[in-house]
Amino acid sequence: MKNRRSIRKYSRDSIPLEKIFQILEAGTYAPSGANLQPWIYIIVTDNELKEKIRKEAEKTERSFHEKAPVQLRRWLKEQKITPEKSFLTEAPALIVVAGLTKAPYWLESTWISIAYILLSVEAQNLGTLTYTPSKTVFLNKLLRIPDDYHPVAILPIGNPAERPSPETRARKPLEQRVYLNRYGDKWQN
Amino acid sequence: MKNRRSIRKYSRDSIPLEKIFQILEAGTYAPSGANLQPWIYIIVTDNELKEKIRKEAEKTERSFHEKAPVQLRRWLKEQKITPEKSFLTEAPALIVVAGLTKAPYWLESTWISIAYILLSVEAQNLGTLTYTPSKTVFLNKLLRIPDDYHPVAILPIGNPAERPSPETRARKPLEQRVYLNRYGDKWQN
């Protein structure tokens, strides 16, 4: 958990599908509302399809960046996050995660599953990133996902071709996040 | 991930706060939208406060069960899930997790943090459960949580006093959850 970092640059080496299945199997062990296991995963390795996904995602992001609040726009700039999503074509595989919206707590359950996947990718010494396009209906169209599933994230998977700066690992002090019995009441360590 | 199970019965042995801090520290390593780390955790060990939380939660659940769709009501009955939430007073500690609603992707980020906590609890050989009250504003009141934080879950923490049946570990076949390139397209293993 502490070592895992979001990776934005990938080498183009392909990843054995078997490894991806193992990672996704871990994702299915997440707890879920009414145990309905509402998630599906689409592995995208087809280059033409990845190009199309990138094109649509970048279109969505350009519109998002234009409408973003000033503070967020500044942060995005500082982090060098632009509407360009080159990892969508550079990573050898993308995992599109969608949830069945009629299941209770489908969004929460699906995000626990994504967390399991993030950690499994790390355990396989691979890199990934939680990319949440601001709109995702283009994924329903391109990947023929039925309307009752809502795509929530694209996780590129591959060998990292960058080492993120240690700053991104910095965490706010636990004292500002943890309270005892009531908000604002400090605990003594 | 595969061994972790939701625990509904706890022994009353208390858990060292130090262990709970370690667990919550792991939670803070989750990735988050714009790296804003929008989560807070309130550890509730005070018995009177736990009683009040249980009382309010059960009131909310009785109303939820009455309004639940038939299919869900049947499933809840089969699983022996009733509006009674005895774990809220029996577990030695509760962790109330809330997210800062003005942060981008606050709900998704907070649920990744919860997943990290679930796995850290397992790594400490303790038990927990993802309990999502159908309404949570009573937690804002009882724990004096500011309105800009939305409580999303209560995680009881303690030593398990039950062994869930192996059936609850059963997963839908991976073939029904994973597709290659397009929904419905099977992968060959």
pLDDT at A1 over 80: yes
- pLDDT tens-place string over residues A97-146: 999 999 989 999 999 999 999 999 999 999 999 999 989 999 999 999 99
Tell how far CA B65 is from the center of its chain. 18
Supply the pLDDT for residue B76. 79
pLDDT at A188 over 70: no
Supply the pLDDT for residue A187. 64
The dihedral built from the CA positions of residue A41, A30, A159 and A133, taken in this order, carries a sign that is positive
In a domain? residue A2 = no
Supply the pLDDT for residue A185. 80
For residues B114-118, give the mean pLDDT. 98
The answer to whether the CB atoms of A42 and B180 lie below 8 A apart is: yes
CA angle B186, A92, A26 (to 5 degrees): 60
The answer to whether the CB atoms of A40 and B76 lie below 8 A apart is: no
Which residues, 6+ apart, have CB-to-CB distance to B31 below 8 Å?
A: A4, A6, A118, A130, B109, B112
Cα distances from A146 to residues A49, A94, A164, in angstroms, run 18, 19, 36
pLDDT at B20 over 70: yes
More confident residue, B72 or B149: B149
pLDDT at B189 over 70: no
Supply the pLDDT for residue A171. 93
* Cα A126 to Cα A118: distance, rounded to the nearest angstrom: 10
* Cα B162 to Cα B126: distance, rounded to the nearest angstrom: 12
pLDDT at B28 over 80: yes
- Put simply, the chain A residues between 58 and 97 with a CB less than 8 A from any chain B CB are 72, 75-76, 79
Shortest CB distance from A132 goes to which of B21, B75, B108?
B108
Supply the pLDDT for residue A61. 92
* Ramachandran area for residue A105 (φ above 0: left; ψ -120 to 50: alpha; else beta): left
Average pLDDT, chain A: 93
Supply the pLDDT for residue A48. 98
Please spell the DSSP secondary structure of B113-137, one letter per residue. Answer: HHHHHHHHHHHTT-BB--B--S--H
The answer to whether the CB atoms of A183 and B119 lie below 8 A apart is: no
In a domain? residue B182 = no
The answer to whether the CB atoms of A112 and B107 lie below 8 A apart is: no
Cα distances from A184 to residues A30, B51, B145, B155, B158, in angstroms, run 32, 21, 8, 19, 24
* Cα B112 to Cα B103: distance, rounded to the nearest angstrom: 15
What is the helix (H) or strand (E) element at residue B5, kind and residue range? none
Instruction: Tell me if residue A41 falls in helix, strand or coil.
Output: strand
CB–CB of B136/B150 below 8 Å?
A: yes
In a domain? residue A165 = yes
Average pLDDT, chain B: 93
Quick one: pLDDT band at residue B188, thresholds 50, 70, 90? low
The answer to whether the CB atoms of B4 and A43 lie below 8 A apart is: no
In a domain? residue B67 = yes
Closest-CA residue of B relative to A38 is B177
Chain A hits for B116, Cβ within 8 Å: 1, 115, 119
In a domain? residue B29 = yes
Closest-CA residue of A relative to B1 is A29
For residues A6-29, give the mean pLDDT. 96
Supply the pLDDT for residue A72. 78
Range in B80-89, B104-113, B138-147 with the lowest mean pLDDT = B80-89
Backbone phi, psi, residue B157, to 5°? -130, 135
Backbone phi, psi, residue A64, to 5°? -65, -45
Quick one: pLDDT band at residue A11, thresholds 50, 70, 90? very high
Supply the pLDDT for residue A133. 93
Closest-CA residue of B relative to A134 is B105
Share of chain B above pLDDT 70, in %: 98
CB–CB of A85/A61 below 8 Å?
A: yes
pLDDT at A44 over 90: yes
More confident residue, A64 or B72: A64
In a domain? residue A122 = yes
Which residues, 6+ apart, have CB-to-CB distance to B111 below 8 Å?
A: A107, A108, A111, A112, A115, B152
More confident residue, B154 or B35: B154
Which residues, 6+ apart, have CB-to-CB distance to B125 below 8 Å?
A: none
Q: Which strands sit side by side in the sheet containing B149-157, from one edge to the other?
A: A178-180, B39-44, B93-100, B149-157
With 0-12 / 13-18 / 19 or more C-beta atoms within 10 angstroms meaning exposed / middle / buried, residue B89 is middle
What is the number of domains present in chain B?
Answer: 1
Backbone phi, psi, residue A89, to 5°? -105, -25
CB–CB of A1/B29 below 8 Å?
A: yes
In a domain? residue B189 = no
CATH label of the domain that carries residue B109? 3.40.109.10
Supply the pLDDT for residue B69. 87
Share of chain B above pLDDT 90, in %: 79
CB–CB of B5/B168 below 8 Å?
A: yes
**E strands present in chain A:** 39-44, 93-100, 127-128, 149-158, 178-180
Range of the domain at A98: 17-176
In a domain? residue B22 = yes
